[in-house]
Amino acid sequence: MVVVRRATEQDFPAILQIQREAFAEYLNLYEVSAWTTETLESIKLDAKDKALLVAESEGTVVGSVRFWTVAGVCVIRLLSVSPTHQGRGVAKALMKDVERMAVEAHKLYLCTMLRTPRNIGLFLSLGYRPESLLPNHYHKLDLLCMSKYREPSLHSS
């Protein structure tokens, strides 16, 4: 069973390890070193103004995600699941909890690498829709940004 909870500082080494392993999948395709080499200092700094969640399976951290809300827009980043636990709904569980916790957000927003059909399929299945393309963006990656509005009526206001 997967349990999602807020991360504590004790979880940071496990989060970095999972991030390293998860993003290593793209090593020969994309510039992902910012995520595979993130340091403890950097994640501690990030945790000062962002919420970090971890997913646990049988007491072991197997996934994580970070999010923060600015003026009603919840930005979701660094969704990572240990390669040994992928394909079992861990990412979906993390995303559901982000949505549950980001109570003040009218819009949920994330970007993913353009050439990752699996990620795009995952976010589409959770109700996210493509919003914009950011060519040559962070680390010169082409990104597809996707979003989901909590209430359609807020979209036009």
Ligand X SMILES: CC(C)(COP(=O)(O)OP(=O)(O)OC[C@H]1O[C@@H](n2cnc3c(N)ncnc32)[C@H](O)[C@@H]1OP(=O)(O)O)[C@@H](O)C(=O)NCCC(=O)NCCS
**Where on the chain is the footprint of ligand X (CB under 6 A)?**
22-23, 25, 79-81, 86-92, 110, 112, 116, 118-119, 121-122, 125
Give whichever of 119 and 149 is closer to ligand X, judged by the CB atom: 119
Q: How far is the CB of 141 from ligand X (least distance, A)?
A: 11
Are the CB atoms for 115 and 84 separated by under 8 Å?
no
Give whichever of 118 and 154 is closer to ligand X, judged by the CB atom: 118
Q: Is the dihedral of CA 126, 69, 135, 21 positive or negative?
A: negative
Give whichever of 12 and 123 is closer to ligand X, judged by the CB atom: 123
Q: How far is the CB of 97 from ligand X (least distance, A)?
A: 12
Q: How far is the CB of 15 from ligand X (least distance, A)?
A: 12
Give whichever of 132 and 154 is closer to ligand X, judged by the CB atom: 132
Give whichever of 72 and 89 is closer to ligand X, judged by the CB atom: 89
Q: How far is the CB of 131 from ligand X (least distance, A)?
A: 14
Q: How far is the CB of 22 from ligand X (least distance, A)?
A: 3
DSSP line for the chain: -EEEEE--GGGHHHHHHHHHHHHGGGTTTS--HHHHS--HHHHHHHHHHSEEEEEEETTEEEEEEEEEEETTEEEEEEEEE-GGGTTSSHHHHHHHHHHHH-TT-SEEEEEEETT-HHHHHHHHHTT-EEEEEETT-GGG--EEEEEEESSHHHHT-
